[in-house]
Amino acid sequence: MLKKTLLFTLIFVFVCSMLLENFAYADNFNLKSKSAILMDANTGKVLYEKNSHEELPPASVTKVMTMLLVMEALDSGKIKTTDKVVTSEHAYDMGGTQIYLEVGEEMTVDDLLKSVAMNSANDASVALAEYISGSEEKFVEEMNKRAKELGAKNTNFKNASGLPEDGHYTSVYDMALISRELVKHKNVFKYLTDKIDSVRNGKFSLANTNKLLWNYQGADGIKTGSTSEALYCLSATAKRGDTRFIAVVFGAPDSATRFKEASKLLDYGFANFETKKVVEAGKVYGNIKVLKGQQDYVNAISQNDEYILLKKGESKNIKQIVSLNKYVDAPVKAGSEIGTVKIYDGNNLIKTVSLIADKSVKRTNLINTFEKIYKSWVKNTKSL
Protein backbone atom coordinates (compact mmCIF):
# COMPACT_ATOMS: atom_id res chain seq x y z
CA MET A 1 0.00 0.00 0.00
CA LEU A 2 2.85 2.35 0.92
CA LYS A 3 4.58 1.63 -2.39
CA LYS A 4 1.41 2.40 -4.36
CA THR A 5 0.94 5.67 -2.47
CA LEU A 6 4.55 6.64 -3.10
CA LEU A 7 4.26 5.79 -6.80
CA PHE A 8 1.07 7.82 -7.14
CA THR A 9 2.71 10.77 -5.38
CA LEU A 10 5.74 10.67 -7.69
CA ILE A 11 3.53 10.56 -10.78
CA PHE A 12 1.42 13.43 -9.47
CA VAL A 13 4.49 15.56 -8.76
CA PHE A 14 5.93 14.80 -12.21
CA VAL A 15 2.71 15.75 -14.01
CA CYS A 16 2.36 18.94 -11.99
CA SER A 17 5.96 19.92 -12.72
CA MET A 18 5.36 19.44 -16.44
CA LEU A 19 2.24 21.59 -16.30
CA LEU A 20 4.07 24.27 -14.37
CA GLU A 21 6.92 24.19 -16.87
CA ASN A 22 4.51 24.69 -19.75
CA PHE A 23 2.34 27.37 -18.18
CA ALA A 24 4.47 29.22 -15.63
CA TYR A 25 5.57 31.70 -18.26
CA ALA A 26 1.97 32.83 -18.70
CA ASP A 27 1.83 34.01 -15.08
CA ASN A 28 5.15 35.78 -15.46
CA PHE A 29 3.92 37.84 -18.42
CA ASN A 30 1.23 39.75 -16.46
CA LEU A 31 0.02 41.34 -19.69
CA LYS A 32 -2.12 44.46 -19.48
CA SER A 33 -3.43 44.05 -23.04
CA LYS A 34 -6.97 42.71 -23.36
CA SER A 35 -5.83 39.88 -25.62
CA ALA A 36 -2.54 38.57 -26.95
CA ILE A 37 -1.01 35.70 -28.87
CA LEU A 38 2.38 34.36 -29.89
CA MET A 39 2.46 32.21 -33.02
CA ASP A 40 5.28 30.49 -34.88
CA ALA A 41 5.02 31.85 -38.40
CA ASN A 42 6.42 28.79 -40.15
CA THR A 43 4.23 26.14 -38.53
CA GLY A 44 1.28 28.15 -37.23
CA LYS A 45 1.73 26.68 -33.75
CA VAL A 46 0.40 28.85 -30.92
CA LEU A 47 2.95 29.25 -28.12
CA TYR A 48 1.03 31.63 -25.88
CA GLU A 49 -2.48 33.05 -25.87
CA LYS A 50 -4.66 35.28 -23.75
CA ASN A 51 -8.31 35.73 -24.79
CA SER A 52 -7.07 34.84 -28.25
CA HIS A 53 -10.51 34.37 -29.82
CA GLU A 54 -12.20 37.40 -28.23
CA GLU A 55 -13.77 39.68 -30.85
CA LEU A 56 -12.27 43.14 -30.51
CA PRO A 57 -11.82 46.23 -32.71
CA PRO A 58 -8.35 46.07 -34.31
CA ALA A 59 -8.04 49.72 -35.36
CA SER A 60 -5.43 50.11 -38.13
CA VAL A 61 -4.10 46.58 -37.65
CA THR A 62 -6.99 45.96 -40.06
CA LYS A 63 -4.57 47.12 -42.73
CA VAL A 64 -2.67 43.82 -42.44
CA MET A 65 -5.55 42.29 -44.40
CA THR A 66 -5.66 45.27 -46.74
CA MET A 67 -1.96 44.85 -47.49
CA LEU A 68 -2.38 41.11 -47.97
CA LEU A 69 -4.96 41.64 -50.72
CA VAL A 70 -2.75 44.30 -52.31
CA MET A 71 0.24 41.93 -52.31
CA GLU A 72 -1.86 39.12 -53.78
CA ALA A 73 -3.07 41.46 -56.52
CA LEU A 74 0.53 42.44 -57.25
CA ASP A 75 1.83 38.87 -57.26
CA SER A 76 -0.98 37.71 -59.55
CA GLY A 77 -0.27 40.51 -62.03
CA LYS A 78 -3.68 42.12 -61.56
CA ILE A 79 -1.98 45.39 -60.66
CA LYS A 80 1.58 46.77 -60.83
CA THR A 81 3.49 48.98 -58.41
CA THR A 82 3.88 51.56 -61.19
CA ASP A 83 0.13 51.83 -61.81
CA LYS A 84 -1.25 55.28 -61.09
CA VAL A 85 -4.36 55.44 -58.92
CA VAL A 86 -6.74 58.38 -59.16
CA THR A 87 -8.09 59.55 -55.79
CA SER A 88 -11.88 59.40 -55.45
CA GLU A 89 -14.01 61.69 -53.31
CA HIS A 90 -14.66 58.76 -50.97
CA ALA A 91 -10.93 58.20 -50.39
CA TYR A 92 -10.45 61.95 -49.93
CA ASP A 93 -13.15 62.00 -47.23
CA MET A 94 -11.30 59.57 -44.95
CA GLY A 95 -10.53 60.93 -41.50
CA GLY A 96 -7.87 59.90 -39.03
CA THR A 97 -4.29 59.31 -40.11
CA GLN A 98 -3.80 60.18 -43.78
CA ILE A 99 -1.48 61.58 -46.41
CA TYR A 100 -4.13 64.13 -47.43
CA LEU A 101 -4.90 62.90 -50.91
CA GLU A 102 -6.81 65.40 -53.06
CA VAL A 103 -9.73 64.43 -55.28
CA GLY A 104 -8.31 63.54 -58.69
CA GLU A 105 -4.73 63.32 -57.41
CA GLU A 106 -2.71 60.51 -58.97
CA MET A 107 -0.34 58.39 -56.93
CA THR A 108 1.40 55.12 -57.75
CA VAL A 109 0.46 51.85 -56.10
CA ASP A 110 4.01 51.80 -54.73
CA ASP A 111 3.63 55.12 -52.92
CA LEU A 112 0.13 54.30 -51.69
CA LEU A 113 1.26 50.97 -50.27
CA LYS A 114 4.27 52.66 -48.67
CA SER A 115 1.90 55.17 -47.06
CA VAL A 116 -0.31 52.40 -45.69
CA ALA A 117 2.54 50.30 -44.31
CA MET A 118 4.55 53.14 -42.80
CA ASN A 119 2.13 55.96 -42.05
CA SER A 120 -1.10 53.95 -41.64
CA ALA A 121 -2.79 56.27 -44.11
CA ASN A 122 -6.55 55.67 -44.25
CA ASP A 123 -7.05 57.56 -47.51
CA ALA A 124 -4.31 55.51 -49.19
CA SER A 125 -5.93 52.29 -47.94
CA VAL A 126 -9.26 53.20 -49.47
CA ALA A 127 -7.67 54.37 -52.74
CA LEU A 128 -5.97 50.97 -53.11
CA ALA A 129 -9.16 49.13 -52.17
CA GLU A 130 -11.13 50.98 -54.84
CA TYR A 131 -8.44 50.44 -57.46
CA ILE A 132 -8.33 46.69 -56.87
CA SER A 133 -12.04 45.95 -56.43
CA GLY A 134 -13.87 48.94 -57.90
CA SER A 135 -15.27 50.06 -54.56
CA GLU A 136 -14.38 49.80 -50.90
CA GLU A 137 -17.53 47.74 -50.31
CA LYS A 138 -16.45 45.11 -52.84
CA PHE A 139 -12.95 45.10 -51.40
CA VAL A 140 -14.32 44.51 -47.90
CA GLU A 141 -16.24 41.51 -49.24
CA GLU A 142 -12.93 40.14 -50.48
CA MET A 143 -11.32 40.86 -47.12
CA ASN A 144 -13.92 38.81 -45.28
CA LYS A 145 -13.85 36.04 -47.86
CA ARG A 146 -10.07 35.76 -47.64
CA ALA A 147 -10.17 35.81 -43.85
CA LYS A 148 -12.50 32.81 -43.83
CA GLU A 149 -10.24 30.99 -46.29
CA LEU A 150 -7.37 31.45 -43.85
CA GLY A 151 -9.40 29.96 -41.00
CA ALA A 152 -10.47 33.19 -39.29
CA LYS A 153 -13.72 32.49 -37.44
CA ASN A 154 -14.06 35.59 -35.28
CA THR A 155 -13.54 38.27 -37.90
CA ASN A 156 -15.86 40.70 -39.65
CA PHE A 157 -14.39 43.65 -41.48
CA LYS A 158 -16.52 46.66 -42.39
CA ASN A 159 -13.86 48.85 -44.01
CA ALA A 160 -10.32 48.72 -45.38
CA SER A 161 -8.81 51.23 -42.96
CA GLY A 162 -9.81 50.11 -39.48
CA LEU A 163 -11.69 53.30 -38.64
CA PRO A 164 -14.32 52.67 -35.93
CA GLU A 165 -17.52 51.12 -37.27
CA ASP A 166 -20.17 48.94 -35.63
CA GLY A 167 -19.57 45.27 -36.38
CA HIS A 168 -15.92 45.74 -37.36
CA TYR A 169 -13.90 43.26 -35.33
CA THR A 170 -11.38 40.45 -35.32
CA SER A 171 -9.38 38.44 -32.77
CA VAL A 172 -5.67 38.25 -32.10
CA TYR A 173 -5.71 34.63 -33.27
CA ASP A 174 -7.36 35.55 -36.56
CA MET A 175 -5.00 38.48 -37.03
CA ALA A 176 -2.03 36.18 -36.42
CA LEU A 177 -3.33 33.91 -39.19
CA ILE A 178 -3.68 36.88 -41.55
CA SER A 179 -0.25 38.21 -40.57
CA ARG A 180 1.26 34.79 -41.13
CA GLU A 181 -0.08 34.81 -44.68
CA LEU A 182 1.15 38.34 -45.36
CA VAL A 183 4.76 37.59 -44.38
CA LYS A 184 4.86 34.82 -46.99
CA HIS A 185 5.03 37.66 -49.55
CA LYS A 186 8.71 38.56 -49.44
CA ASN A 187 8.25 41.80 -51.36
CA VAL A 188 6.08 43.27 -48.60
CA PHE A 189 9.12 43.68 -46.33
CA LYS A 190 10.34 46.50 -48.55
CA TYR A 191 7.44 48.50 -47.15
CA LEU A 192 7.21 47.06 -43.64
CA THR A 193 10.88 47.72 -42.80
CA ASP A 194 11.15 51.21 -44.32
CA LYS A 195 11.70 53.51 -41.33
CA ILE A 196 11.85 56.97 -42.90
CA ASP A 197 10.72 57.84 -46.42
CA SER A 198 8.54 60.23 -48.37
CA VAL A 199 6.00 60.57 -51.17
CA ARG A 200 5.17 63.34 -53.63
CA ASN A 201 8.83 63.68 -54.62
CA GLY A 202 9.95 64.24 -51.05
CA LYS A 203 7.29 66.81 -50.19
CA PHE A 204 5.41 64.58 -47.70
CA SER A 205 7.48 62.74 -45.11
CA LEU A 206 6.65 59.28 -43.78
CA ALA A 207 7.83 57.75 -40.49
CA ASN A 208 7.10 54.14 -39.68
CA THR A 209 4.80 53.81 -36.67
CA ASN A 210 6.30 50.43 -35.67
CA LYS A 211 8.91 51.38 -33.06
CA LEU A 212 10.18 47.80 -32.78
CA LEU A 213 12.06 48.37 -36.04
CA TRP A 214 14.45 50.61 -34.12
CA ASN A 215 14.99 48.59 -30.97
CA TYR A 216 14.14 44.90 -31.38
CA GLN A 217 16.58 42.45 -32.98
CA GLY A 218 15.12 40.93 -36.13
CA ALA A 219 11.92 42.99 -36.11
CA ASP A 220 10.64 43.54 -39.65
CA GLY A 221 6.91 44.23 -39.35
CA ILE A 222 4.00 44.52 -39.26
CA LYS A 223 1.35 47.08 -38.25
CA THR A 224 0.22 49.33 -35.42
CA GLY A 225 -3.26 50.62 -34.69
CA SER A 226 -5.08 52.74 -32.13
CA THR A 227 -8.47 54.32 -31.55
CA SER A 228 -10.30 55.38 -28.39
CA GLU A 229 -12.40 52.22 -28.63
CA ALA A 230 -9.69 49.73 -29.64
CA LEU A 231 -7.00 51.33 -27.45
CA TYR A 232 -3.49 50.37 -28.63
CA CYS A 233 -2.97 47.38 -30.92
CA LEU A 234 -0.05 45.79 -32.72
CA SER A 235 0.77 42.88 -34.99
CA ALA A 236 4.52 42.39 -34.74
CA THR A 237 6.93 39.95 -36.32
CA ALA A 238 10.63 39.25 -35.98
CA LYS A 239 12.97 36.76 -37.62
CA ARG A 240 16.28 35.30 -36.48
CA GLY A 241 17.81 32.66 -38.71
CA ASP A 242 15.02 30.40 -39.95
CA THR A 243 12.85 31.21 -36.94
CA ARG A 244 10.03 33.76 -37.27
CA PHE A 245 7.42 34.59 -34.64
CA ILE A 246 4.27 36.70 -34.81
CA ALA A 247 3.03 38.51 -31.69
CA VAL A 248 -0.35 40.24 -31.72
CA VAL A 249 -1.68 42.37 -28.86
CA PHE A 250 -5.05 44.16 -28.74
CA GLY A 251 -6.35 46.65 -26.21
CA ALA A 252 -3.11 47.76 -24.57
CA PRO A 253 -3.62 50.80 -22.29
CA ASP A 254 -0.95 52.89 -24.02
CA SER A 255 1.45 52.83 -26.95
CA ALA A 256 4.54 51.88 -24.94
CA THR A 257 2.75 48.89 -23.39
CA ARG A 258 1.85 47.35 -26.74
CA PHE A 259 5.49 47.39 -27.86
CA LYS A 260 6.74 46.19 -24.47
CA GLU A 261 4.29 43.28 -24.33
CA ALA A 262 4.85 42.26 -27.94
CA SER A 263 8.60 42.28 -27.22
CA LYS A 264 8.03 40.13 -24.14
CA LEU A 265 6.15 37.56 -26.21
CA LEU A 266 8.80 37.54 -28.92
CA ASP A 267 11.54 37.22 -26.29
CA TYR A 268 9.81 34.16 -24.89
CA GLY A 269 9.62 32.62 -28.35
CA PHE A 270 13.27 33.14 -29.25
CA ALA A 271 14.48 32.07 -25.81
CA ASN A 272 12.61 28.78 -25.80
CA PHE A 273 12.00 27.65 -29.38
CA GLU A 274 13.72 27.38 -32.73
CA THR A 275 12.56 26.50 -36.22
CA LYS A 276 14.33 23.92 -38.34
CA LYS A 277 13.86 23.70 -42.10
CA VAL A 278 13.37 20.03 -42.93
CA VAL A 279 12.30 20.19 -46.57
CA GLU A 280 13.48 22.69 -49.19
CA ALA A 281 11.21 24.05 -51.90
CA GLY A 282 12.27 23.00 -55.40
CA LYS A 283 14.90 20.54 -54.21
CA VAL A 284 14.99 17.30 -56.22
CA TYR A 285 14.47 14.33 -53.90
CA GLY A 286 14.74 11.73 -56.66
CA ASN A 287 13.41 10.87 -60.11
CA ILE A 288 10.72 8.44 -61.14
CA LYS A 289 10.38 6.47 -64.35
CA VAL A 290 7.44 7.41 -66.55
CA LEU A 291 5.83 4.54 -68.43
CA LYS A 292 4.55 5.23 -71.94
CA GLY A 293 5.52 8.89 -71.69
CA GLN A 294 7.16 11.27 -74.14
CA GLN A 295 9.85 11.72 -71.48
CA ASP A 296 11.32 8.90 -69.46
CA TYR A 297 11.56 10.51 -66.02
CA VAL A 298 10.09 13.21 -63.79
CA ASN A 299 11.75 14.75 -60.76
CA ALA A 300 10.14 14.57 -57.33
CA ILE A 301 10.27 17.96 -55.61
CA SER A 302 8.66 19.76 -52.70
CA GLN A 303 6.43 22.68 -53.58
CA ASN A 304 7.19 24.62 -50.40
CA ASP A 305 9.77 24.97 -47.69
CA GLU A 306 8.65 22.91 -44.71
CA TYR A 307 9.61 23.53 -41.10
CA ILE A 308 9.27 21.99 -37.67
CA LEU A 309 9.31 23.82 -34.35
CA LEU A 310 11.62 22.50 -31.65
CA LYS A 311 11.86 23.46 -28.02
CA LYS A 312 15.44 24.44 -27.27
CA GLY A 313 17.22 21.65 -25.43
CA GLU A 314 14.83 18.96 -26.61
CA SER A 315 15.86 15.98 -28.73
CA LYS A 316 17.17 17.01 -32.12
CA ASN A 317 17.60 13.55 -33.54
CA ILE A 318 15.77 14.64 -36.67
CA LYS A 319 15.88 12.39 -39.72
CA GLN A 320 13.95 12.11 -42.97
CA ILE A 321 12.89 9.13 -45.03
CA VAL A 322 12.08 9.69 -48.71
CA SER A 323 9.54 7.34 -50.31
CA LEU A 324 8.97 7.52 -54.07
CA ASN A 325 6.61 5.72 -56.39
CA LYS A 326 8.43 3.01 -58.37
CA TYR A 327 6.97 4.44 -61.56
CA VAL A 328 4.09 6.53 -62.89
CA ASP A 329 1.98 6.05 -65.97
CA ALA A 330 1.72 8.83 -68.53
CA PRO A 331 0.14 11.28 -68.77
CA VAL A 332 1.65 12.91 -65.69
CA LYS A 333 0.40 16.29 -64.52
CA ALA A 334 2.85 18.73 -62.97
CA GLY A 335 2.11 19.02 -59.27
CA SER A 336 0.66 15.55 -58.89
CA GLU A 337 1.85 13.65 -55.82
CA ILE A 338 4.49 11.03 -56.58
CA GLY A 339 6.12 10.51 -53.19
CA THR A 340 6.55 11.69 -49.62
CA VAL A 341 9.18 12.81 -47.16
CA LYS A 342 8.54 11.62 -43.62
CA ILE A 343 10.21 13.54 -40.82
CA TYR A 344 11.06 11.71 -37.61
CA ASP A 345 12.29 12.85 -34.22
CA GLY A 346 13.95 9.64 -33.14
CA ASN A 347 11.29 7.01 -33.78
CA ASN A 348 8.38 9.47 -33.64
CA LEU A 349 6.82 10.56 -36.94
CA ILE A 350 6.23 14.31 -36.64
CA LYS A 351 5.52 15.44 -40.20
CA THR A 352 4.73 14.05 -43.65
CA VAL A 353 5.40 16.19 -46.73
CA SER A 354 4.13 15.42 -50.23
CA LEU A 355 6.56 15.33 -53.14
CA ILE A 356 5.20 16.34 -56.51
CA ALA A 357 6.10 15.97 -60.18
CA ASP A 358 8.14 18.95 -61.37
CA LYS A 359 6.68 18.87 -64.89
CA SER A 360 3.93 17.41 -67.02
CA VAL A 361 4.62 14.46 -69.31
CA LYS A 362 2.30 13.62 -72.18
CA ARG A 363 1.52 10.09 -73.21
CA THR A 364 3.72 8.83 -76.01
CA ASN A 365 2.43 8.48 -79.57
CA LEU A 366 3.68 6.55 -82.61
CA ILE A 367 5.93 9.35 -83.87
CA ASN A 368 7.45 9.88 -80.44
CA THR A 369 8.07 6.14 -80.09
CA PHE A 370 9.94 6.02 -83.42
CA GLU A 371 12.00 9.07 -82.37
CA LYS A 372 13.02 7.29 -79.17
CA ILE A 373 13.96 4.13 -81.08
CA TYR A 374 15.99 6.15 -83.60
CA LYS A 375 17.84 8.14 -80.90
CA SER A 376 18.61 4.94 -79.03
CA TRP A 377 19.91 3.32 -82.25
CA VAL A 378 22.15 6.33 -83.03
CA LYS A 379 23.51 6.32 -79.49
CA ASN A 380 24.27 2.61 -79.59
CA THR A 381 25.88 2.89 -83.05
CA LYS A 382 28.26 5.63 -81.84
CA SER A 383 29.32 3.51 -78.90
CA LEU A 384 30.35 0.58 -81.15
What residues are annotated to the active site? 60, 63, 120
Can you give the length of the chain in residues?
384
Secondary structure letter of residue 356 according to DSSP? E
167 phi and psi, to 5 degrees? 85, 10
Q: Which residues pair with 49 in a beta bridge?
A: 37
- Alpha helices by DSSP H, listed for the chain, are 2-29, 63-76, 89-92, 109-119, 122-133, 136-149, 172-182, 189-192, 212-215, 255-272, 366-382
Contact 160, 62 (CB under 8 A): yes
C-alpha–C-alpha distance, residues 201 and 354, integer Å = 49
Q: Which residues of 293-328 are buried (b: 16+ CB within 10 A; e: fewer)?
A: bbeeebbbbbeeebbbbbeeeeeeeeeeeeebbeeb
Among 186, 117, 128, smallest CA distance to 159 is for 128
Cα 94-97-99 angle, rounded to 5 deg:
80
Contact 331, 294 (CB under 8 A): no
How many other C-beta atoms are found inside a 10 Å radius of the C-beta of residue 190?
Answer: 13
Query: What are the CA-CA distances from residue 345 to residues 206, 238, 348, 349 (Å)?
Result: 48, 27, 5, 7
C-alpha–C-alpha distance, residues 96 and 114, integer Å = 17
Query: What are the CA-CA distances from residue 284 to residues 287, 299, 324 (Å)?
Result: 8, 6, 12
How many other C-beta atoms are found inside a 10 Å radius of the C-beta of residue 253?
Answer: 12
CA quadruple 40, 42, 44, 46: dihedral, nearest 10? -10
Contact 356, 304 (CB under 8 A): no
In one letter, which amino acid is 34? K
Please, is 335 exposed, middle or buried when counting C-beta atoms within 10 Å of its C-beta (0-12, 13-18, 19+)? middle
